[in-house]
Amino acid sequence: MSRDYLDKLNDKQREAAMYTEGPLLILAGAGSGKTSTMTCRIAYLIQEMGVSPYNILAVTFTNKAAKEMRDRVENLIGSGLNMWILTFHSACLRILRSHADVLGYGRDFAVYDPTDQKTLIKNISKELNIDTKKFNPGYFLGKISDCKESRISPEQYAGIYGDDIKDRMIQRVYSEYERNLKKNNAMDFDDLLLRTVELFEKDESVLLKYQRRFRYIMVDEYQDTNQIQYQFVKMLAEAEDDFGDKRNNICVVGDDDQCIYQWRGADIRNILEFEKDFKNTKVVKLEQNYRSTSTILDAAHSVIKNNVGRKAKKLWTEAAEGSKITYRRLDNERDEAYYVASEIDKLAGRYNDFAILYRTNSQSRTFEEALSRRNIPYRVLGGLRYYDRKEIKDMMCYMRLVQNRADDLALIRIINEPKRGIGGKTLEKLRALASVRQQSLFEVLLDREVISSLSAKASAGITDLAEMISEFSQQQENMKLSDLYDGLLVRSGYMKALEDQNTLESESRMENLMEFKSVIYDYENEDPNISLAEFMERIALLAEVDNHNADENAVVLMTLHSAKGLEFPYVFMPGMEDGLFPGWRSFDRPDGLEEERRLCYVGITRAKERLWMTSAETRTLYGKTDYTRESQFLREIDRTLIDGDAVYENRSCRAEGAFRDGAAQAKPYKPFDQLRQARIQTKKAAEAMMKSSQEDFNLGDRIMHPKFGEGEVIELGKGTIRVRFADDTKKLALGYAAIKKIREE
């Protein structure tokens, strides 16, 4: 077999790719080709060492990174590999789907995203009479997440953190939160990692199964791992060989200089102390950069070298010196935004070559206004997620309920969406009854005696809802995902309710619902047999960076944290002021300032060709205007690398007068008739399903099923038919798939 892929690597990359036995630490600086090194190492293991893809596990943090790695491996050695290249959460979810019953969960458990978690905390706070203005859901979720990462249970909380009024309140909320998750057969993102480690500890046979399978483990972005992720990979890596020695065939790739997520649990000690955890570790440093100019790299190094807690290394490149870093200090934040927008307008070209990276989300407003006035298209990454929009969340809850009828949170959200005459008091009574009976809310809805005691409208609405969810739940495996979606959208009355509103807002919501159908089609094109559970998992595990579309011709606005893993030809870093970047809180502790400095390093190294930094003489934040001092990080950059001589010609102008007129260039709507056609298509698909229940089928009839293809009717039942397909025999309920009888010519 050809080893051309190794010839494309530099000496250090090749050394890392060909080192296969024992622990390996690859210190990979920004833009040093770590993905190429990892994929070539996988190819080398399979092609040269004869390792089965089945025995390799590669984990990373984002779906985007996992997909890129998978695509590159397949380009090298072919597709169809039975190999796990997944995010941490996806890998743990896959394990739990097979073994959740060991921990007392159903295997069809739901995965709650941050919006679901906040809703659950709000409900709990209401039940416990907690003032959500004083203690918002985010406060409790932060505490709960910290506890889970430290493996502190609700029962242990008070003993560790104290027993004052606030601690007792946190402990009660945490306890109720965990109880509700278990009752709803649901897990949050922290649980996916925590429960997998608990599973390994509880059932040694399960751990042994995965230790035997994953003989070679690779971890990307190791500097971002927390303690639970560290335990997960360590337990898998410590499998014993035939002689009773620990195999420790673990390769981790990372850069301690890019550890910027300590605030959400990342533990930099994992990478700094890797050699202590795994004896006889081989260390390879990748320091040649293939992304940026030497000026940009030298500027990044002049900042990061001031950190004490780091491993010694320095990026270098064979690329040209490039332009100096442009620095401008403007009068205020409006002038700053005007300057950035005018520079982008002046350079023109493709707008998606530009990124504005700021320290806090609150900085985006002035840039959005400045870009809008110049008719420059932009996209804010990190705002409201597409999947968090009300109408999308509503339909996803319908789908979640079909998958897992014990999901009370999903049911509470959609029980009166659209209106079914179920008021708050009625819902509270039903929830109280479910609590007394120790049943799920859906089980209570199936009790005809209970439902008949409600008003006629509520009783009819709940009965229709319960029947619809039950029937779709039973038939989900026999339906295409898009057919299931069409059926829910129409039979629930959700789309009709929006059409009846006949407003611009309802029209926009319907457009989003049709766009969601496009999302479903994309997944079906990738995997025609994708199940509802698989689809819901993939959507739940999407990270915001996965939504970045590099082909969309718009300037990208995002926080520096969101920018990690991305690169742009032209980068602007505004707000380079002490108190904003680095933030005031970081001065309270040395490790805080070091993390901010790493964040600055990440921002600088996102730039490929040119970098602009700006600050404002005065800045208004939260209604208060203050004079500012230039950032400590600016002062650390070698001044010979900065173009600070030229003064911005309109520096003293006020942005209000300098802006030229123009409206924001939003993402254009689809033409009305195109949207109308999509809605008509959805209705027709739902009607076709219903029509199949009215058709007379006979034994021996040939039928066409949208998911399973052509088959023969071999048994008739009440409202059902049994059909023999090429690969299997299925019992189908009429009205839940657009089954067509094949008419003979």
| Residues catalogued as catalytic | 34-35, 220-221, 258, 606
Q: Return d(Cα 240, Cα 50) in angstroms, integer.
A: 20
Side-chain-facing half-sphere of 183: CA atoms under 13 Å? 20
**CB of 196 closer than 8 Å to CB of 92:** yes
β-pairing, 702-705 vs 709-716, is: antiparallel
Cis peptide, bond prior to residue 53, ω within 30 of zero: no
Q: Return d(Cα 348, Cα 350) in angstroms, integer.
A: 6
Token pair recorded at residue 232: 């997960």
β-pairing, 607-616 vs 325-330, is: parallel
517 Cβ contact partners less than 8 Å away, ≥ 6 residues apart: 482, 485, 486, 678, 682
- Reference 581, options 565, 569, 567, 597; nearest CA is 597
526 Cβ contact partners less than 8 Å away, ≥ 6 residues apart: none
Q: Return d(Cα 382, Cα 544) in angstroms, integer.
A: 6
Which strand (E) or helix (H) includes residue 250? strand 250-254
Q: Return d(Cα 233, Cα 146) in angstroms, integer.
A: 20
Residues written for the chain:
745
Residue with tokens 């009709």: 496
**CB of 106 closer than 8 Å to CB of 79:** no
Dihedral over alpha carbons 175, 177, 181, 184 (to 10 degrees): 110
Neighbours of 294 (CB within 10 A): 17
Q: Return d(Cα 121, Cα 143) in angstroms, integer.
A: 12
**CB of 421 closer than 8 Å to CB of 405:** no
Sequence letter at residue 388: D
DSSP 646: S
